[in-house]
Amino acid sequence: MQAAFFGVKVLDLSRLLPGPFCSMLLADFGAEVIKIEDPDGGDYIRWWPPLLGKNSGFHVVLNRNKQSLTLNLKKPEGKDILKQLAATADVVLEGFRPGVMDRLGLGYEALRAVNPRLIYCAITGYGADGPRALRAGHDINYLALNGVLSYSGQQGNPTMSGVQIADLGGGALYAAFAIATALYARERLGEGQHIDLAMADGAMTWHCLRWGKYLADGLVPSQGDDFLNHGFACYNLYPTRDGRTMSLGALEPQFWKLFCETVGRPDWNTPGYFEPGPHQQKLHEEVAALFRTKDLSEWTAIFADRDCCCEPVLNLDEALADEQTRQRRMVVDMVHATWGAYRQLGIAPKLSQTPGIIRGHAPELGEHTAEILAAMGIDTAAQARLRAAKVI
């Protein structure tokens, strides 16, 4: 089967997490992704410990199915090579602060001049304009400034998510969607376009449910004030006797009723279970006391055949070994010539006609430089000169 993005060439100049995750999604579905890295060290995330072989485990997961080309974009020859690549590329993806690529002479207008069909996606923290456009930031800052952290966690204790919501959800996923949208639009319009994607903007849209409530009641969200953020007993986390945790998500009446029947507390099943008020604290304390009477394994067994949204909180190792994870092919066994055997995360969307596939490992720094330059007509002698001049 031909992959969905077969024939699409992506030049990925991004580093760290958001851009590489975006281009990984495109590569998983057939795009030819050339990861363009500085010859002096490459993507910073390559060297973050712990290492798998010569590379960081982070790099191994984020940069599968890609090629690596080293290119010094501060050198005139490096700029020329990028422009030559852009002339036949479909997408350029970068994650620098606004203005950096323009100062290099490689911004959207400069590359559009050599390829009007080019789609240029810039992932930034705060976008191309506004008072914070040039300000440094990370996932925690974007979520702090756009209000997400203000009602995450329990009262008086803002909580960071274990995964990067703004980087991945606000940045990488939106970027992949925007690029796919622009590719589709190009089929009708015949030309490419610029994508200005701010991670802070993307994460702002994750307010959607609380935004709707805020529109209706005018109340500013706070920690523990609602049924989805520790405010209700029926949707919460509960420690078990052995120090583990059970998750309870019995929002709907039928699930709450079955939960109450399963634990022998039908008296809890009243309309008040889904109403705000001080009684929620009392109900929470009673449910918490119940969960502390048994170990995680015991509760897991009790709810195994009870369909009421009560599940154990698994650690990563347990989650990877889970039969559901295995059957959905969300863990893929791989073998590398030098790293040896390792496990890669699988591909989430299951397309029936154009499925994604893991075709290759994350590349070593500059692994495909000679191959890519040769395909451009740059012979070995010229490559040697470029290498001596520290262009590649």
Q: Which residues are catalytic?
A: 138, 167
| Dihedral over Cα of 232, 235, 240, 244: its sign | negative
CB neighbour list of residue 52: distance below 8 Å, 6 or more residues apart:
60, 339, 342
| Dihedral over Cα of 377, 380, 384, 390: its sign | positive
Rounded Cα distance, 64 and 77, in Å:
28
Question: Are 182 and 32 a contacting pair, CB within 8 Å?
Answer: no
DSSP string across 20-50: HHHHHHHHHTT-EEEEEE-TTT-SGGGGPSS
Helices (H), the chain: 18-28, 57-62, 76-87, 100-103, 108-114, 139-145, 173-189, 199-204, 208-217, 253-262, 279-291, 296-303, 316-321, 323-327, 369-375, 380-388
Rounded Cα distance, 170 and 174, in Å:
6
Q: How far is CA 258 from CA 80, 114, 236, 253, 264, in A?
A: 67, 64, 16, 9, 10
Rounded Cα distance, 34 and 146, in Å:
33
Q: Is 211 helix (H, G, I), strand (E, B) or coil?
A: helix
CB atoms within 10 A of CB 157: 10
Q: Is 155 helix (H, G, I), strand (E, B) or coil?
A: coil
Beta bridge mates, 225? none
What distance separates the 2 farthest-apart alpha carbons in the chain? 83
Tell me which residue has tokens 């191959």.
371
Q: What angle do CA 376, 106, 195 make, to 5 degrees?
A: 105
Question: Are 14 and 197 a contacting pair, CB within 8 Å?
Answer: no
Rounded Cα distance, 301 and 212, in Å:
38
Q: Is 201 helix (H, G, I), strand (E, B) or coil?
A: helix
Rounded Cα distance, 70 and 140, in Å:
31
